[in-house]
C-alpha cells in the first residue's frame, strides 16, 4: 500500500511500533489526560506525530492539569465543556503557549459562548458534531462572530477551514478537521486492517498501491459522487461546496439555509481579507 | 488557426436521447490507411501555410472507444509525415470519459493534451448505456473518469444540454451543476434537433431556453464571484466589456476557421454539418485540406453576414454580437444558410429581458469591428 | 435586592465578549462595571480575569455589601492571579442611615480590598455629613480620592435629587469638609453636573489645589451599556435617546452621537441657570452649565419627544 503522505489514526499504542507507521505521520487517540505527556515523550523522537487527540467524552477542559510539559505537544482536545471557567482563565496564558485546539460539541448550548471566550483569548478551538442536533441559530451566531468580528481572534473550526478553502476550484470538505479525508487519513484497527472512517468498511493494510487507489475512488464514489447519483437534497444545495453533506442531519432546522448563510459569511470575510 | 473536428469513429458506448450520431449513422472507425492520408494532408497544409498552426479536436461517437493502439498510431504518423510540423499541431478531445483509462491518458499526454471537454447529465433516462439508458452505470464510469483525469492533472469542462426534461427546473439544474464543477467551467446549450425531428420529445423552443437561462442568470449574477466560468454568461460579460465572440456559432467568422473529417474520409464544415449532410466537400482521398478550405461554399458563408444585415437581421442592435447565429441553424430553419437562426430569439430575449436589466449593462456595438460592406 | 435577582439580570458571556470586542476595536483599554451590584454576578471574578486578558483594566462600582462567604470566595479567586488590573469604587452611605449588618459588610469589604479601593459618595439630601468618609480612609488605609456625585433628576421619573437652588448649601458643606481635612490629603473628585459658578474664585482655587488640578466642570457622555447591550449617555439620561450598541461601530462614534444629542439640547438652553445662556465660561467650554438632566426635566411639560429620538 502507498506508504507516504498518509496520516494513520490509532487508539491502540501497540500499533504505533509496527512498521506500517514508520513512513507516515500518526494521530494518537487518548482518553486519559494523564497519558498525554508520557505518550508524546515516548514516541516523539521516532515517529512523526501529527496530533495527539484527547477525547474526554463528557469531561471538562478544566479537569486537565496543564503544565509546561504540554507546550510542544500538538494536541486537540475534545471536551464536553470548559468546566471551571475561573481555573481556565487562571491558566489561559499557559494554554495560549501550547499548540492546543479545544473542540466542543455543537449539541451543548454552552459550547458557543465557551468557544467565543477561547477564541477571543487567542486559543484555537472548534465545534464538533455528535449524535444530538445543534441549534442552528447559535451555530450561525458563532459563524458570524468568527467571520465578522472586527478584532483579531484565534481560529474556530470548521469555520477557519471553510474560509481557507473557499476559493478552491473543487469541492473541499472541512471534514479533514475531524480527521476524515480518504486521501489523507486512515483509521488503523489492527496490524492488518484499516478503514477510511472509524465505522466504515475495513480493508487490508496489504493492498497494492493500485488497489488502494481504487478503494479511495470507491469511497469517494459512495460518499461524494453518491449524492449526484441519487440527486438528493445535498446535490441541489447551494452550500454543498462547503458542507458536502457533512451536516445534513446536524441541525434542529433546515441545514441548507444555515449552511448557505455560513457560505455567505465566509465569502464576505475572505473577500474582505483579500 | 484552423480547427479540424475529427470524427475518427461513429461508434459510441452511450445512448443519449438527443444524439444525431446514434440516431442517424452506422458506427464505423477510420482505417489506418486513411488516417495516414489525413496526416499527409495536414502536413501539406502546414508546409504551405508556414505561419499557421493547426488544431485537431478528436470527436465522435466516443473517441476513447478506438483504444490506445489508435492513438499510438497517430503518434507514429505524426513522426512519419509531420516531422517538421507536428509541433504546430495541437490536440484536444471531446469524450464522455466512461472509457478513459491510464494508458489512454498517457498517450494523450504524449500528444500534448492537458485538458478534456466532456458533457454531463445528472438526470436519469437522458443518457446512459444501452437501450434502457442505464444512467447509474454510465455516471459511475463517468465519475471514475473524472477522478482519473484529475489525478493526472488534466483540466476539464463540460457541456450541459438543456432538454425538455429539465426546462422547468433551472435553479435546481444550476445548483447541481455548480456543485459538481465548483467554479463553473460548463456551458449551457439548448438541444438541437434536425428538421424538427423530435421522436423523444426533448426539444425546447428559443423562448423556453431564454427563460431558462434568465432564471439561472438571476442567481448567477448574485454569486458571480462564486462561479465565474458559467457559459454563456461569462462570455456575455466579456462581450459587453471588451467585445469578442461568444462561440463559433455566433462569431459570424467560421467560414475559414473550421473543417470536419469523418471516419470514411468525408470532408464537411463542422460536426453538425456532417451529421446533417450539409456542405459535402468530398473525400480526403481526393480532396486536400488546402482545397477544402478553398471550396466555394465558404464564399457563401463569408457573404452571409452582409446578406443578413440587409435582410433578416436588418436593424438588429445585437447583430455584431450574434451575427444571425449558426448558419446551420438558418439552414435547419429555412433550408438556406442565408437565414438567421431560430435561436436568435433566445439570445435577444435573454439579453433584453434578463441580462441587461439585471447587470445594468447596455450593448455597445461600437466595441466591435465595423463590417466593411464594400468587400 | 439579591433575592430579586434572576439569571436574566446578569450580562451573558456573549454580550460581554461583544462589549470587549467593541472596546478593543475602539482602542479603549479600560471598562467600569456597574449595576445593580456587579459583585453579585456569580462569575464576577471570571469576568474580571477575562477582561484583563482582553487588555482591559477594570473598575468596579460597588456598594461593598456582600455576604461574607461570597466575599471570601471572591477574594480567594482574585488572589489566584497576580497583577490583576482591577480597582473598586465603593459607594458608601452615611452610617446613621445604614442598617448595622450592612455597615459590617461594608467594613469587611474595605478591610479586604483596601489597597484597591477608593470611595464614592452621592449627595441626594442637603443635610448630609461627610466625616465618616475621612474615618473610612484613615481606618482602612484606602485611596485618598473621593468621588463626589450630585443626585440629579432622572427626567420622567420621581427620584430624590438636589434641586439647583440648594447647590450653594451643598457647596458650603463640601468646602468646609475639604478645608478641615486637608491634612489627610483627601482628594475631591467631582462627578459631572456641578456648575462652576456654585464656587467662588477662592473656593475654585482651593478645590483646584486639593484635586491636584483635576477640576472639571464639563459635561460629556459617560456611556452606560446594560446587560442587553442598550446604551445611553449617562445614568440620569438613561431614557434619553436610548440606542443599541449594535447601532455603532466604535466607541468614538457612540460618544459623538450622544455629544451631538446633548448639544442639541444645550443649543436651546445653555445650562441649569438662566445666566448660563450669557456665561462666558460656558461659551468657552470651561463649564457645561450643570447636568443636562435638570434642563430636560424642565422640558418635561413639553412632551416626550424632547427625551426620545423621533
How confident is residue B27, by pLDDT bands cut at 50, 70 and 90? confident
The answer to whether residues C45 and C13 touch, using CB atoms and an 8 Å cutoff, is no
Q: How many Å apart are CA B18 and CA B197, to the nearest integer?
A: 10
* C309 pLDDT more than 60: no
pLDDT grade for C310, boundaries at 50, 70 and 90: very low
Average per-residue pLDDT for chain C: 90
What pLDDT shows up at residue A247? 82
* Chain C interface includes A272 (CB < 8 A): no
Which of B122, B147, B185 is closest, CB to CB, to A231?
B122
Does B218 lie at the interface with A, CB-CB under 8 angstroms? no
Chain C CB within 8 Å of residue A120 CB: yes
- Mean pLDDT over B202-217 rounds to 95
- The DSSP line for chain A is ---SS-EEEES-GGGGGSHHHHTSEEEEEES-GGGHHHHHHHHTTTSEEEEEEEE-TT-BGGGS---GGGTT--EEEE-SB---HHHHHHSHHHHHHS-EEEEEETT-THHHHHHHHHHHTT--EEEE--SSPB-HHHHHHHHHHHHH-SS----EETHHHHHHTTT-SS---GGGGGT--TTTEEEE-SSSEEESSTTS--EETT--HHHHHHHHHHHHIIIIIHHHHHT-TGGG-TTHHHHTTTTTTSBSS-HHHHHHHHHHHHHHHHHHH-
Q: Do A217 and B172 touch (CB under 8 A)?
A: no
- Predicted ipTM of the assembly: 0.91
The pTM for the full model equals 0.88
Task: Write out pLDDT tens, residues B71-88.
Answer: 999 999 999 999 999 999
The CATH architecture annotation of domain C7-309 reads: Alpha-Beta Barrel (3.20)
Q: Is B36 helix (H, G, I), strand (E, B) or coil?
A: helix
Q: Give the chain A residue nearest C55 (alpha carbons).
A: A121
Q: What is the pLDDT of residue A10?
A: 92
Identify all chain A residues contacting B122, using CB atoms and an 8 Å cutoff: 228, 231, 235
A228 and B139 in contact by Cβ < 8 A?
Answer: yes
**In this structure, is the dihedral angle defined by the CA atoms of residues A257, A260, A262 and A268, taken in order, positive or negative?**
negative
Q: Is residue B370 scored above 80 in pLDDT?
A: no
B and C adjacent (3 or more CB pairs under 8 angstroms): no
- The CA distance from A193 to A201, in Å, is 10
- Sign of the CA dihedral A214, A216, A218, A220? negative
Q: What is the pLDDT of residues C207-261, one digit of tens each?
A: 999 999 988 899 889 999 999 999 999 988 888 889 999 999 999 999 999 999 9
Q: Which of A85, A92, A116 sits opposite C17 (nearest CB)?
A: A116
Sheet strands (E) in chain B: 3-7, 54-59, 89-93, 115-119, 155-162, 184-190, 229-231, 258-261, 266-268, 282-283
Give the C-alpha separation, C205 to A95, whole Å. 54
Strands (E), C151-209: 187-190
Q: B9 pLDDT band (50/70/90 cuts)?
A: very high
CB-CB contact of C15 with C228 (8 Å): yes
For residues C190 and C165, is the Cβ–Cβ distance under 8 A?
no
pLDDT of residue A250: 81
Annotate B164-225 with DSSP letters as a single string: GGGTT-HHHHHHHHHHHSTTEEEEEEEPP-GGG--TT-----HHHHHHHHHHHHHHHHHTTT
Chain A residues within 8 A of C20 when measuring between CB atoms: 120
The residue-averaged pLDDT of C284-293 equals 91
| Residue A51 β-bridge partners | A27
Number of C-beta neighbours around residue C180 at 10 A: 13
Of A89, A141, A150, the CB nearest to C46: A89
Our answer on whether A and C touch (3+ beta-carbon pairs < 8 Å) is: yes
Please answer whether residues A11 and A29 qualify as being in contact, where contact means their C-beta atoms are separated by less than 8 angstroms.
yes
Q: How many CB atoms are located within 10 Å of the residue B57 CB?
A: 19
How confident is the model over C59-113, as pLDDT tens digits?
999 999 998 899 999 999 998 988 899 999 999 999 999 999 999 999 999 999 9
Q: Which residue has the higher pLDDT, B347 or A251?
A: B347
pLDDT value for B374:
33
Q: How far is B362 from chain A (nearest CA, A)?
A: 28
Grid coordinates belonging to C138: 484613615
Amino acid at each position: 500500500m502507498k506508504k507516504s503522505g498518509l496520516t494513520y489514526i490509532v487508539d491502540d499504542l501497540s500499533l504505533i511500533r509496527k512498521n506500517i507507521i514508520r513512513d507516515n505521520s500518526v494521530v494518537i487517540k487518548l482518553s486519559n489526560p494523564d497519558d498525554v505527556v508520557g505518550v508524546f515523550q515516548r514516541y516523539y523522537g521516532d515517529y512523526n506525530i501529527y496530533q495527539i487527540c484527547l477525547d474526554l467524552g463528557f469531561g471538562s477542559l478544566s479537569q486537565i492539569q496543564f503544565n509546561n510539559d504540554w507546550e510542544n505537544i500538538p494536541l486537540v482536545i475534545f471536551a464536553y465543556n470548559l468546566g471551571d471557567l475561573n481555573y481556565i482563565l487562571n491558566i489561559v496564558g499557559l494554554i495560549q503557549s501550547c499548540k492546543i485546539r479545544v473542540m466542543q460539541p455543537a449539541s451543548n448550548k454552552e459550547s458557543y459562548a465557551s468557544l467565543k471566550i477561547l477564541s477571543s483569548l487567542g486559543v484555537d478551538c472548534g465545534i464538533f458534531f455528535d449524535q444530538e442536533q445543534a441549534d442552528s441559530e447559535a451555530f450561525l451566531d458563532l459563524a458570524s462572530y468568527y467571520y465578522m468580528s472586527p478584532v483579531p481572534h484565534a481560529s474556530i473550526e470548521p469555520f477557519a477551514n471553510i474560509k481557507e478553502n473557499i476559493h478552491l476550484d473543487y469541492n473541499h470538505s472541512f471534514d479533514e478537521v475531524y480527521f476524515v479525508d480518504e486521501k489523507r487519513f486512515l483509521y488503523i484497527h489492527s496490524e492488518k486492517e484499516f478503514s477510511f472512517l472509524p465505522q466504515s468498511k475495513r480493508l487490508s493494510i496489504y493492498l497494492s498501491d493500485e488497489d488502494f487507489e481504487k478503494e479511495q475512488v470507491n469511497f469517494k464514489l459512495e460518499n461524494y459522487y453518491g449524492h449526484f447519483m441519487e440527486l438528493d437534497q445535498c446535490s441541489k444545495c447551494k452550500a454543498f461546496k462547503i458542507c458536502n453533506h457533512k451536516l445534513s442531519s446536524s441541525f434542529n432546522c433546515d441545514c441548507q439555509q444555515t449552511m448557505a448563510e455560513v457560505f455567505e459569511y465566509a465569502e464576505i470575510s475572505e473577500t474582505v481579507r483579500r | 488557426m484552423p480547427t479540424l473536428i475529427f470524427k475518427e469513429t461513429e461508434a459510441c458506448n452511450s445512448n443519449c436521447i438527443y444524439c444525431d450520431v446514434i440516431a442517424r449513422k452506422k458506427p464505423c472507425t477510420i482505417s489506418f490507411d486513411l488516417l495516414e492520408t489525413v496526416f499527409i494532408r495536414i502536413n501539406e497544409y502546414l508546409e504551405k501555410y508556414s505561419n499557421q498552426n493547426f488544431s485537431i479536436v478528436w470527436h465522435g461517437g466516443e473517441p476513447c472507444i478506438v483504444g490506445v493502439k489508435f492513438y499510438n498510431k497517430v503518434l507514429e504518423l505524426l513522426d512519419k509525415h509531420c516531422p517538421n510540423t507536428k509541433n504546430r499541431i495541437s490536440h484536444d478531445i471531446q469524450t464522455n470519459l466512461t472509457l478513459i483509462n491510464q494508458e489512454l491518458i498517457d498517450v494523450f499526454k504524449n500528444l500534448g493534451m492537458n485538458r478534456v471537454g466532456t458533457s454531463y447529465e445528472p438526470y436519469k433516462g437522458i443518457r446512459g448505456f444501452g437501450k434502457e439508458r442505464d444512467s447509474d452505470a454510465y455516471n459511475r464510469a463517468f465519475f471514475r473518469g473524472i477522478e482519473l483525469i484529475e489525478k493526472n492533472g488534466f483540466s476539464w469542462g463540460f457541456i450541459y444540454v438543456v432538454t425538455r426534461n429539465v426546462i422547468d427546473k433551472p435553479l435546481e439544474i444550476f445548483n447541481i451543476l455548480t456543485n459538481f464543477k465548483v467554479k463553473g467551467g460548463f456551458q449551457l446549450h439548448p438541444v438541437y434537433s434536425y428538421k424538427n425531428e423530435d421522436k423523444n420529445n426533448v426539444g425546447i423552443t428559443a423562448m423556453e431556453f431564454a427563460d431558462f437561462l434568465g432564471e439561472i442568470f438571476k442567481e448567477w449574477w448574485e454569486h458571480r464571484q462564486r462561479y465565474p466560468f458559467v457559459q454563456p454568461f461569462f462570455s456575455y460579460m466579456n462581450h459587453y466589456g471588451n467585445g469578442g465572440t461568444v462561440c463559433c456559432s455566433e462569431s459570424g467568422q467560421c467560414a475559414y476557421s473550421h473543417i470536419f473529417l469523418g471516419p470514411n474520409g468525408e470532408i464537411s464544415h463542422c460536426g453538425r454539418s456532417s451529421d446533417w449532410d450539409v456542405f459535402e466537400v468530398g473525400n480526403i482521398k481526393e480532396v486536400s485540406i488546402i482545397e477544402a478550405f478553398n471550396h466555394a461554399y465558404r464564399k457563401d458563408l463569408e457573404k452571409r453576414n452582409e446578406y443578413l444585415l440587409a435582410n433578416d437581421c436588418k436593424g438588429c442592435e445585437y447583430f455584431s454580437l450574434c451575427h444571425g447565429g449558426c448558419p446551420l441553424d438558418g439552414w435547419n430553419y429555412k433550408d438556406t444558410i442565408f437565414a438567421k437562426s431560430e435561436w436568435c430569439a433566445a439570445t435577444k430575449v435573454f439579453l433584453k429581458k434578463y441580462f441587461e436589466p439585471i447587470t445594468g449593462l447596455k450593448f455597445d456595438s461600437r466595441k466591435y469591428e465595423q463590417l466593411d460592406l464594400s468587400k | 435586592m439579591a433575592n430579586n435577582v434572576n439569571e436574566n439580570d446578569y450580562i451573558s458571556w456573549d454580550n460581554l465578549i461583544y462589549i470587549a470586542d467593541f472596546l478593543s476595536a475602539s482602542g479603549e483599554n479600560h471598562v467600569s462595571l456597574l449595576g445593580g451590584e456587579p459583585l453579585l454576578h456569580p462569575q464576577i471574578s471570571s469576568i474580571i480575569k477575562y477582561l484583563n486578558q482582553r487588555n482591559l483594566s477594570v473598575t468596579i462600582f460597588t456598594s461593598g455589601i456582600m455576604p461574607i462567604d461570597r466575599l471570601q470566595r471572591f477574594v480567594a479567586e482574585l488572589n489566584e492571579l497576580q497583577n490583576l488590573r482591577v480597582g473598586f469604587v465603593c459607594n458608601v452611605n452615611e452610617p446613621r442611615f445604614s442598617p448595622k449588618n450592612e455597615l459590617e459588610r461594608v467594613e469587611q469589604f474595605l478591610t479586604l480590598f483596601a489597597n484597591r479601593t477608593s470611595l464614592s459618595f452621592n449627595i441626594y439630601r442637603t443635610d448630609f455629613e461627610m466625616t465618616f468618609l475621612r474615618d473610612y480612609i484613615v481606618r482602612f488605609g484606602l485611596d485618598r480620592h473621593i468621588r463626589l456625585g450630585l443626585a440629579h433628576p432622572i427626567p420622567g421619573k420621581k427620584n430624590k435629587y438636589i434641586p439647583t437652588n440648594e447647590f450653594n448649601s451643598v457647596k458650603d458643606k463640601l468646602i468646609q469638609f475639604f478645608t478641615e481635612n486637608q491634612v489627610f490629603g483627601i482628594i475631591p473628585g467631582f462627578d459631572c453636573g456641578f456648575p462652576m459658578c456654585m464656587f467662588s474664585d477662592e473656593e475654585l482655587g482651593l478645590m483646584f489645589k486639593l484635586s491636584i488640578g483635576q477640576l472639571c466642570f464639563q459635561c460629556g457622555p459617560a456611556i452606560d451599556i446594560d446587560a442587553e447591550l442598550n446604551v445611553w449617555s449617562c445614568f440620569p439620561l438613561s431614557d434619553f435617546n436610548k440606542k443599541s450598541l449594535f447601532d455603532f461601530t466604535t466607541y468614538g462614534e457612540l460618544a459623538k452621537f450622544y455629544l451631538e444629542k446633548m448639544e442639541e439640547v444645550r443649543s436651546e438652553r445653555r445650562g441649569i441657570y438662566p445666566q448660563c445662556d450669557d456665561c462666558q465660561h460656558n461659551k468657552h467650554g470651561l463649564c457645561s452649565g450643570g447636568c443636562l438632566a435638570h434642563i430636560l426635566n424642565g422640558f418635561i411639560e413639553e412632551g416626550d419627544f424632547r427625551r426620545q429620538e423621533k
